[in-house]
Structure 1
């Protein structure tokens, strides 16, 4: 019984991951309905398994479900973008101020930013993954399982927003790397307020560019 339960959980996770990848790659556009019948046929899984996979993505914010309606891919709009980035800024600014007290610069953040800095100049969708790792490393630097868990509930929506930004060729890899480097320098210099201001400018720039692009 235990082995069978674990097997079912594994299938649900795999189906959820495949569906998530479809959404984040843009293969499933905002507003696209995702029914249990479709997911069952598409991934060759039982409908209860498809339902469980869909519910995982509803919980992460990638799918939206209203009463008596099928789930749909979350459509990015200005209100969603501003809320995601505002919440990120609140959590990350607090993390930076805490890290700056001891001048602690997370090694994982440095490595992620070096990856971005090594990319060719210009906008590149490949910056999304290391950029997410950079910001996650700031949170993980607190070594608080609860804070890290809370932050990760935002990651899928943040990744969706960032993918939209990069797909529209709005952000330059060299600019991202320089802004990250300035934030880390401020933390190393024990200047939490400066690090927080630089973070707000950094996130605010991405937020405004995406909102403007959505409006256009």
Structure 2
């Protein structure tokens, strides 16, 4: 009997496109997604659609309880706080290591320059370069395992940021200023200062997003940025 084989590259393409649709909000939180939906949307076999849904469920892009229809993940205030605190723990230690060596990746400067250019045009669509800024710092450590751990959070972080972007709660002006300050502190070898700046930077986003998703914002949401002179 011939064995059914799912073409991995096709499944990869479907998975990547569905991720993009979720991050951009084209597939809103809570949207149901069946094998038939996916097979029809991409004109693929049900086996390929099933494999894509299983991948996305494993990655927590989709959720499925008790074998029911998979749905686009819905993040709440507690989810956001857990994601951002985990992110802070990991990024903080990496920034300390980079500051010890005064190592500033050029890719981080380039990503921040892109955010500044977008803001100059009045755009809040900074999720991709913002994530590239932070990821480039993690990757600069040169640890494949640390990068893998961080990248495992990447989708959930992007989803959080996309939800904030849609509400225009985070100012790209503040993002650019705080990113620049982080790089200056790393270049100066100020590990403690870089860690404090990161905590301020991520805590503001964390609390603004938690509030946007129905929670009560902590005091960090309204603290003026220390990277912008009064």
Could you state the TM-score of these two structures normalised by the residue count of structure 2? 0.87
Is the 8 Å Cα contact of residues 121 and 173 (structure 1) preserved in structure 2? no
Structure 1 equivalent of residue 150 of structure 2: 151
Identify unmatched segments of 5+ residues in structure 1.
Answer: none
Query: C-alpha distance in 2, partners of 1:52/1:86?
Result: 31
Aligned to 1:163: 162
Rate the CA distance shift 1:43–1:125 in 2: closer, same or farther, 3 A.
farther
CA distance in 2, matches of 1:111, 1:11: 32
Q: Which runs of 5+ in 2 are unaligned?
A: 216-230
TM-score between the two structures when normalised by the length of structure 1: 0.93
Count of matched residue positions in the alignment of Structure 1 and Structure 2 = 212
RMSD: 1.7
CA contact (8 A) 1:122 1:173 kept: no
Provide the residue aligned with 2:225 in structure 1. Answer: none
Distance apart, 1:122 and its partner CA = 8.5
Is residue 118 of structure 1 aligned with residue 155 of structure 2?
A: no
Confirm or deny: 8 A CA contact 2:118 2:124 kept in the other structure.
no
Q: How far has the Cα of 1:124 moved from its partner?
A: 3.2
- Asked if 2 retains the 8 angstrom alpha-carbon contact of 1:123 and 1:166, the reply is no
**Bigger helix fraction:** 1
Helix, strand or coil for the counterpart of 1:69? coil
Q: Is the 8 A contact 1:28 1:73 kept in 2?
A: yes
Kindly indicate whether the alpha-carbon contact (under 8 Å) linking 2:124 and 2:172 is maintained by their aligned counterparts in 1: no
C-alpha distance after superposition, 1:79-130 (max 9, x if no partner): 1111111111011001000101110011111110111122335873421111
Q: Which shows bigger deviation, 194-203 or 206-215? A: 206-215
The answer for the alignment partner of 2:191 in structure 1 is 192
Give 1:25 shift.
1.4
- Runs of 4+ displaced beyond 4 Å: none
1:204 aligns with 2:203: yes
Partner of 1:175: 174
What is the alpha-carbon distance in structure 2 between the residues aligned to residue 156 and residue 85 of structure 1? 12
Task: Tell me the alpha carbon deviations over residues 128-184 of structure 1, each in whole angstroms, 9 at most, x when there is no partner.
Answer: 111000000110010011111111111111101000001001111111000001111
How far did 1:199 drift?
Answer: 0.4
For the residues of structure 1 that align with 2:192 and 2:63, how far apart are their CA atoms?
A: 37
Counting only pairs closer than 5 Å after superposition, residues 4-153 of structure 1 correspond to structure 2 as 8-121=7-120, 124-153=123-152
